Structure formats: C-alpha cells, structure tokens
Amino acid sequence: MTVRVLIIDDQNDFRRLLARHVLTGFDSPSVAEYDPAARGRLPADFSGSAYDAVLQGDSVGGEFGIDWLRDLSRRNGFPPIIYFLSKRSPELEESAIHAGANACLSRKKVDHEALIAALRTVQARRGQFSRPAVQSEDSTRATRFGDASIRGFRYVSQLAESPVSSVYLAESERSGSKVALKVLHQPPDEGSGVRNFDRFLREYQIAAAIEHPNVARVHDFGVADDHAFIAMEYFPLGDLRVRIKEGIPPRRALTFLRQMAEALKVLHDAGVLHRDLKPGNVMLRDELSVAVIDYGLSKHIELDATLTNSGEIFGTPYYMSPEQGHGRDTDARSDIYSMGIIFYEMLMRRKPYVAGTPMQVIYKHAHSPLPELKAELKRFEELLYNCIAKDPARRYASADQLLDAARELERDETER
C-alpha cells in the first residue's frame, strides 16, 4: 500500500527535502506540494481527503503556522498533520499538539527515521481521523461548558466565573492533559460581546507570542457555538491569594516579586501594558515560582476607563495606580505600581488601602500616606516606595530598573 502525502510550506527547498525523505522511505509514494506564499490559503472546502497525511511547516504565507494548523485540523475528515517547528521546545510542541498536530518534528534537521515512523503510524490508521457526524448524548454532555459545546475538550469542573466569562477545568482529548478553558459568555456578534471578543483575541495573541517561564502558556483559541474560548495552562496549586493567606516568608516574597518583574519586562518589551496585575492573576507554577496570566485589559485594546453603572471599573481598584484610577494616561510605571502593591500584601498579609467603595479606594491610592512596613521588614521599604510612589516620575522607570533592584536585594538577603 502506497502513501499519499501533501507538503505545505513557503520554502521550495524545504518542501523538496521533505519530498526526498518520503520518496526514499516508501515504495512508489504519491507526493504533492503546496506553496502558501504563492497560492495563499487553501480553499475553505478543501478536505484533504485525497491524502493520507499532511506535512506542514511553520512557514506559511507570512502567517502564523499554528493558525494554519488549527484551521486545517478542524476540517471534517482532514488527514493527520505532521508539523515542523523552526524552534523546538516542550511549550511550542504542546501548543502545536493542542492546535491539532499528530506529531511535531524539527525543520532545522529533519529526522528521517522519526518522519517515516510518523507517516507509517498515520498510514496504518488511515480513515480513523474523520470526525463523527453524530455524538452520543454522553459525549455531547462531556463537551458542554455552560452554553457552549466545545469539541476536543472534556468537562471536569468549573473553576471561576465573572460577568464576562467562565473558567473551567477541562481535559484535552488529544493530549490527555488538563487545561483551563476560559469561555466568553456573550457571542462575539452581540453588543458588548464584540468588545469582549476583541479582548479575548488580544489575550490569546499576546500570550501565544511569548515564551517565558513566568508567563502563562496559552494553547488554543477558537469559537464554538458562537462562544469564544481560550485553552490555557492549568495551575493546580492556584494563585497567589492562597499563599498570601497562608503567609509568605519575606525572602520568598522578594523572589516572587523578581519573577513577576521578569514577566513584566517581557510584556513591556512586547509593547504591552498588563493593566490588571493582582494576586488573582499571578499563578503558582510550583512552590518556588509564579507565572502571570490574563492580558484581557492590555493597553492594546480600546477600553472605556470610566466607571460602569454598577460602580465597577476596568482593572482592580485595590491594585490600581493613581493615574489609572483617575483615567489619566498610563505607561510601564503603572504596572510597576500594581506590582508594588502586591509586594506589600505579600509582606504584610493585608492590602495597604481599603475602603467601602471603589472610588474611596482610588482616592486613597492618590492621597493617603505611603504604607509603612513592620520594623523587621524596613529593609524592603526603599524598593517598595520606588514602586508605589504617588508620582509616576518617582517610581522605577522600567521593569529593568525594578529587576536590577530586586536582584540586588535578593543577593543581600542571601548573604544575611
């Protein structure tokens, strides 16, 4: 039995290289090539039914290869896809698998034996990858997340809910791993649903473009039953609020601050302000490290910075800089302010400014004296005050400056 393969990639030399591997690995294979740079996207009705497998590179018409992968893998009856990465890492491979890849290989040095083994595997399973037209009642119920049915994920439990979205613990049917599935409540074409959908899309685009141990990984983005969803890294240990309640040793708090600053630097270098830093958006990767999540309020999105009718504001008043709380222009120093407030809470196990209403909290951020630390924590006050000064000009000007200060203080703590 011969094998029928379609190769998709911008680079002619790479397509020819893969073709040679296939031609030398099988008797009389059928190999076709497709150049996205010259021919654009494959037609929407192209099902690939004439092929046993598709070899897709991550260089496709100047677009994100992962987007092509996701589009093709979701087409009914589309053959298995073997995906080639310019840069291999566990995170990128996991993202590709979540997007629909059957296997991931390196394009820099094609492993002939691995490629042929992958092709023989999909050849042996020919016809098993088409999607069933009808799901059983149990299967349908297992893929139900609120009002949306999201194929490819199994419901485990609900983790959180807000007026805009719900977050579920789910299991990926493809990889078997646990993910956090964030589902938008409103369909993207209904009123404010358009704006919320834009935030969702922006959150995915930001996280998908960043690879850093202190930034949460996002695996997938899509629309199911007219509800947008994001599949992201699941953190079984929860968020920083849990540790704050239990109490965080000062040295550990400083380490967490430095790691958050590492994440902030990556975001700022990418031209993104977070604008909603708070303990609930800092997840525990393990006992010694944290990762920042949730970029839905990033500055790249057009947002209304005024109060809503319910008295709520975009962002969280307890951690909001004076300029953000009063609707003035923000920059990197506003995120640094929020990080300083989190640092204070880690050290003191309480928020520095509390009041009965959001507006009163915002007023205190702008006008109340700087909060003092306990006597045994005074050594951290200089760093803290350089983060939470009322005047942005008196704060660290960048995440780099905060990082330098945090690292120096960490060295001092090690020598104590």
Report the SS3 class of residue 284: strand
The DSSP bridge partners found for residue 184 are 165
Catalytic residue flag (residue 276): yes
Both structure tokens of 194: 């358009």
Chain-centre distance for alpha carbon 78: 27
Both structure tokens of 64: 């994100």
Smallest CA-to-CA distance from 301 within 187, 188, 196 is with: 196
2, 29 contact by CB (below 8 A): yes
Report the SS3 class of residue 343: helix
Q: Which residues contact 349 (CB under 8 A, 6 or more apart)?
A: 244, 245, 247
Smallest CA-to-CA distance from 132 within 140, 120, 124 is with: 140
- Which of the following is catalytic: 58, 220, 276, 294? 276
Where do we find the tokens 């492993």? 111
Which amino acid is residue 398, in one-letter code? S
The C-alpha angle with vertex 383 and arms to 328 and 290, in degrees rounded to 5, equals 85
288, 255 contact by CB (below 8 A): yes
76, 1 contact by CB (below 8 A): no
Quick one: 188 exposed, middle or buried, by C-beta within 10 A (0-12, 13-18, 19+)? middle
- Rounded CA-CA distance 35/59 in Å is 10
Looking at residue 130, the DSSP 8-state letter turns out to be: S
Both structure tokens of 183: 């589902």
- Rounded CA-CA distance 296/301 in Å is 8
Is residue 166 within a helix (H) or strand (E), and if so which, with residue range?
Answer: strand 165-172
Where do we find the tokens 């002939």? 112
Q: Which residues contact 64 (CB under 8 A, 6 or more apart)?
A: 208
Quick one: 226 exposed, middle or buried, by C-beta within 10 A (0-12, 13-18, 19+)? middle
Maximal C-alpha separation, the chain: 79
Q: Which residues are catalytic?
A: 276
